Amino acid sequence: MALAEHEGVTDGLEGIVAAATRLSHVDGEAGQLILAGYAVEDLAPHASFEEVAYLFLHGRVPAPAERAAFAQDLARRRALPPAVIEVLREAAAAQTPPMDALRMAAAILSLGRPGTPLDDALTAIASFPAAVGVYWRLRRGETPVPIRCDLPHAAHYLHQLSGAEPPPERARALETYLNTVSDHGLNASTFAARVIVSTQSDLFSAITGAVGALKGPLHGGAPGPALDLVFEIGAPERAEAVIRARLDRGERLMGFGHRVYRVRDPRADVLAQAAERFYAGGGDGRLYDLARKVEATALRLLREYKPDRRLDTNVEFYTALLLHGLGLPAELFTPTFAAGRVVGWAAHCLEQLRDGRLIRPQSHYAGPVGLHYHRAPAGVAS
């Protein structure tokens, strides 16, 4: 019997409600996502990143004066401690994958910065773009771009990568993306973060663990492979054959399926619209059209191959398309996801510290009993 089939065990904790939260609500049947009271399609394309971060940390959108003060506070926290830059330099020299580099940086962001949990939350949110930007430039043999405090968060992220001030539509497209992925119920990385702070550990420990959880291809690591599929297909008429071959081999199609959504992920719509606007404004329209064709074919074939499972497009498919359009390399898709999701991690940690209790479930023992231990005499090979 598979371990997960033992009585009383809920495989993958599917359907288990493990926390109450005011932060976000995922309605998997209706395909709706509420972010701190607002529908994702209402909030993400219109609000600034700073407003969304404030909303999550303080439970309401800021008044204009609060918004300006909050943005300044975040901007002042952008600079990385020198030790973080050193670690990123070593990581770049060793060609470390970017998510591993981000995990290493996250672990030491607190160095020399004692603060309250809210301070830690703000520092983590503010620091991620610099951590990704510095790492990426060092990895390419380029000099890191000095921090600027006069740019909004999303524009600053792009500036850290390229050294150039992005045009407003690029910054807006990235901001929409970061807002869209800012929080999403008790996903694996957020749950990991809540488990860690539930022991009354600190936010940086929790966020470091969350980065590790996000890295896996079943969570945040899917957009790169999703884009690879589109590139491998290359032309609309090849979509059916390539996807069929993958499904025949029993492979999963990255960018499709979700543990909670049984219909199309509403974030996919927000990002598809952002991508459409962006590509219509001068991007590679052929790639966008090809991706739509790949999506339609994948959905049709998933229905054919998995008729009992409702598999639809998830957030990662259009993440890949949008971030690629913004000029980000596939290796930075998951770190960029982390730069958005760190808002949710931080807010969940604060909520858990305020209202939560130690998270400590049980396991069902399915191993042997009654074995007797005999140590083999020294020198006798066993």
Query: Where along the sequence are the contacts to ligand COA (CB under 6 A)?
Result: 12, 218, 222, 252-259, 306, 309, 311, 314-316
Which residues, including other chains, have CB under 8 Å from residue 379's CB and lie 6 or more apart? Answer: none
Tokens 């524009």 found at: 155
Output the residue with the shortest Cβ distance to ligand COA.
257
- Cα–Cα distance measured from residue 343 to residue 207, given in angstroms and rounded to the nearest whole number: 10
- Cα–Cα distance measured from residue 207 to residue 62, given in angstroms and rounded to the nearest whole number: 25
In the complex with ligand COA, the residue whose CB is nearer, 137 or 246, is: 246
Three-class DSSP category at 298 = helix
Question: Phi/psi of residue 33, each to 5°?
Answer: -130, 125
Is 258 marked active-site? yes
Q: How far is the CB of 180 from ligand COA (least distance, A)?
A: 12
In the complex with ligand COA, the residue whose CB is nearer, 97 or 152, is: 97
In the complex with ligand COA, the residue whose CB is nearer, 58 or 264, is: 264
CB 297 within 8 A of CB 240: yes
Select from 220, 187, 173, 185 the least CA-distant residue to 44: 173
Which residues, including other chains, have CB under 8 Å from residue 199's CB and lie 6 or more apart? Answer: 358
Is 316 marked active-site? yes
The active-site residue out of 156, 316, 324, 348 is 316
In the complex with ligand COA, the residue whose CB is nearer, 122 or 214, is: 214
The active-site residue out of 153, 258, 324, 348 is 258
Strand ranges in the chain using DSSP code E only, listed in sequence order: 24-27, 32-35, 38-39
Positions annotated as catalytic residues are: 258, 316
